Amino acid sequence: MMISTQANQLVTQLYREAYATPIAEFKQRCFELMAETFAIDSGTWITRCEREIPFYTQDSFTYQLPDGFMEHYHHLSTVSDQVHQVFGVMLGNLGKTLDILDVVPEDEWFGSDMYKLYCEEFDLHHSLMTVTANPLNQAVNVVTFARNNPERPFTQEEKATKEFVVPNLIEAMRVNLLNAFHINRSDPSAYRAVSDRYGNLIEAEEGFMQLINRFGLLQDNKLLISLESDEGTQQADDYLLSYQNNDGLVLIELQTAPVLESLGQRKLEICRYLLEGLSNKEIAKKADLSPNTVNNHLKEIFRVLHVSSRHEAMSYLIRQNALK
């Protein structure tokens, strides 16, 4: 398959945008770029792990489509059934880009309720669908392009080009999510993750996973908290969790309660030596303690900081930026 220079340039630009664009604006920017390359009029991009639940606005990014577009088909039972039948076919063709007429015979399609009661209302006369799934976290991405002109179907070359672009698009999104972990933190000691609206984790920092498991807020890679609203907070004695929904991608920030002041001067002194890279024996000599006492102090420090090793404790202390 020959891929055009324009398609390769698009992929390059998508990766550039992954670093330059905030998570809340990334899907919009990607669709603006793809609209130029593919001459599309509208589209959708859904990222989530749930496969049986109907699609909702809060799950989805829509491009050049009216409010309520995602929920419109719920009120039409035959259309809802057909949408999920088509989605089931796409799940059986992961990574492939298909025209709706590859899925439903032409005479059947143009006579269907899905076309007459749904697609015609929104001028969706031609569409290209691509579905991918990540086997590690079960995250599914559904990327759909649409054209309003019934006289301008998608070509085989355009299908092949989209099939080339979409895996790069999904990887660029992953880069964008990981980049979001490192910018504009409300607290330098906070840890971040991204989930779908149902709490299924898509990406997470190592520290987030350690803390969320310690607080008993995760089961089978799914957060045991509600993320139904567009943004919110949950606070307990040991942590503050805040989140914001960005077209179905929920950016979560987890802050632990301040703990350094609870350690006492002797343990803070050992923390400072730990940051100098000293061994237990060297710390014992500097602090005029026995190695066994130093070891006991470190165990208590690890417990209070919710870590399990020296390098995790050092990482936490550096992020706190509190020991100077």
Tens digits of residue pLDDT in 168-207: 999 999 999 999 887 766 666 688 999 999 999 999 988 8
- Mean pLDDT score of the chain: 89
Confidence of residue 255 (pLDDT cuts 50, 70, 90): confident
Where helices occur in the chain by DSSP H, the ranges are 5-20, 23-38, 69-72, 77-91, 100-103, 106-109, 113, 156-180, 206-214, 265-275, 280-287, 291-305, 310-320
Inform me whether the pLDDT recorded for 40 exceeds 80: yes
Domain 260-320 CATH assignment equals 3.40.50.300: no
Q: Which of 11-25, 31-45, 65-79, 257-271 has the lowest mean pLDDT?
A: 257-271
Choose among 60, 118, 56, 52: nearest CA to 88. Answer: 52
Average pLDDT over residues 72-98: 92
Q: What integer pLDDT is reported at residue 305 of this predicted model?
A: 78
Q: What integer pLDDT is reported at residue 8 of this predicted model?
A: 93
Average pLDDT over residues 101-120: 92
Domain 191-256 CATH assignment equals 3.40.1840.10: yes
Return all residues near 66 (Cβ < 8 A) that are at least 6 apart: 122
User: At 270, is the secondary structure helix, strand, or coil?
Assistant: helix
User: At 100, is the secondary structure helix, strand, or coil?
Assistant: helix
Percent of the chain past pLDDT 90, that is, above it, reads 61
Query: Could you tell me which residue, 35 or 273, shows the higher pLDDT?
Result: 35
256 contacts 189 by C-beta, under 8 angstroms: yes
Other residues' Cβ atoms within 10 Å of the Cβ of residue 97: 23
Domain 5-180: give its CATH superfamily: Transcription factor LuxR-like, autoinducer-binding domain (3.30.450.80)
**Packed helices 310-320 and 265-275: angle between N→C axes, nearest 10 degrees:** 100
Confidence of residue 260 (pLDDT cuts 50, 70, 90): low
Q: What integer pLDDT is reported at residue 27 of this predicted model?
A: 97
Length of the chain (residues): 324
Inform me whether the pLDDT recorded for 248 exceeds 60: yes
Q: Is the pTM of this model over 0.85?
A: no
Q: What integer pLDDT is reported at residue 210 of this predicted model?
A: 82
CA distance linking residue 78 with residue 300, whole number of Å: 61
55 contacts 46 by C-beta, under 8 angstroms: yes
**CATH 3.30.450.80 intervals, the chain:** 5-180
Average pLDDT over residues 139-143: 97
**CATH 1.10.10.10 intervals, the chain:** 260-320
Inform me whether the pLDDT recorded for 261 exceeds 90: no
